[in-house]
Structure 1
Amino acid sequence: MDVSNRVSNGSSHWVTEFILMGFPGIHSWQHWLSIPMALLYLSALVANTMILLTIQQEAVLHQPMFYFLVFLALVDMGLSSTIMPRILTMLWFNARTISLPECFFQIYAIHVFLGLESGIFLCMALDRYVAICHPLRYPSIITEGFVRKAAMFMVLRNGLLAIPVPVLAARQHYCSRNEIDHCMCSNLAVTSLACDGRKANSIFHLSVAWIVLGSDMGLIIVSYALILLAVLKLHSAEAASKALSTCSSHIILILFFYTAIVVLVMTHSAKVKVPLIPVLFNVLHNVIPPALNPIVYALRTQEIKVGILKLIRLAGLRK
Structure 2
Amino acid sequence: MAASNWTTPHPSTFILLGIPGLEAAHVWISIPFCSVYILSLLGNGLLLAVIKTEPSLHEPMYLFLCMLALADLVVSTTTLPKTLCIFWFRDRAIHINACLAQIFLVHSLTTMESGFMLAMAFDRYVAICNPLRHSAILTNRAIAKIGLGVVMRGCVLLGPHPFLLKWLPYCRTNVISHTYCEFMALVKLACADTTVMSAYSLAVSFLAGGLDFILIVLSYILILRAIFRLPSKEARRKSLGTCSSHVCVMLMFYIPGIFTFLSHRFGHMDPHINILRANIYVLFPPMMNPIIYGVRTPGIRQRALHILGIKSA
- TM-score band, normalised by shorter chain: over 0.9
Contact 1:14 1:176 in 2 (8 A): no
TM-score by length of 1: 0.93
The 3 A distance-change label for structure 1 pair 293 and 13 is closer
Report the counterpart of residue 217 of structure 1 in structure 2.
Answer: 213
Q: CA RMSD in A?
A: 1.6
Q: For residue 182 of structure 1, what is the amino acid of its counterpart?
A: H
Kindly state the Cα deviation for residue 32 of structure 1 after the two structures are TM-superposed: 1.4
Deviations 1:95-153 (A, max 9, x none): 10011111111110011110010000000000000000001001101111111000100
Between the aligned partners of 2:195 and 2:212, the Cα distance in structure 1 is: 25
Is it true that 1:100 corresponds to 2:96 in the alignment? yes
SS of equivalent residue, structure 2 residue 49: helix
Is it true that 1:195 corresponds to 2:186 in the alignment? no
Is it true that 1:153 corresponds to 2:154 in the alignment? no
Report the counterpart of residue 254 of structure 1 in structure 2.
Answer: 250
Q: For residue 75 of structure 1, what is the amino acid of its counterpart?
A: A
Report the counterpart of residue 108 of structure 2 in structure 1.
Answer: 112
Report the counterpart of residue 28 of structure 1 in structure 2.
Answer: 24
SS of equivalent residue, structure 1 residue 33: helix
Kindly state the Cα deviation for residue 314 of structure 1 after the two structures are TM-superposed: 7.8
Report the counterpart of residue 241 of structure 1 in structure 2.
Answer: 237
SS of equivalent residue, structure 2 residue 192: coil
The share of aligned pairs that are identical, in percent, is 37
The 3 A distance-change label for structure 1 pair 162 and 25 is same
The 3 A distance-change label for structure 1 pair 11 and 276 is closer
Of 194-203 and 66-75, deviating more is: 194-203
Aligned length: 307
Deviations 1:31-66 (A, max 9, x none): 211110000000000000101111111121122221
Between the aligned partners of 1:14 and 1:265, the Cα distance in structure 2 is: 27
SS of equivalent residue, structure 1 residue 83: helix
Between the aligned partners of 1:45 and 1:117, the Cα distance in structure 2 is: 16
Choose from 40, 45, 48 the match for 2:44. 48
Report the counterpart of residue 6 of structure 1 in structure 2.
Answer: none
The 3 A distance-change label for structure 1 pair 64 and 15 is same
Q: For residue 264 of structure 1, what is the amino acid of its counterpart?
A: T
Choose from 70, 76, 82 the match for 2:78. 82
Between the aligned partners of 2:9 and 2:216, the Cα distance in structure 1 is: 49
Report the counterpart of residue 4 of structure 1 in structure 2.
Answer: none
SS of equivalent residue, structure 1 residue 25: coil
Is it true that 1:289 corresponds to 2:285 in the alignment? yes
Kindly state the Cα deviation for residue 15 of structure 1 after the two structures are TM-superposed: 2.4
Gaps of 5+ in 1: 1-8
Between the aligned partners of 2:195 and 2:24, the Cα distance in structure 1 is: 34
Between the aligned partners of 2:215 and 2:303, the Cα distance in structure 1 is: 32
Report the counterpart of residue 178 of structure 2 in structure 1.
Answer: 182
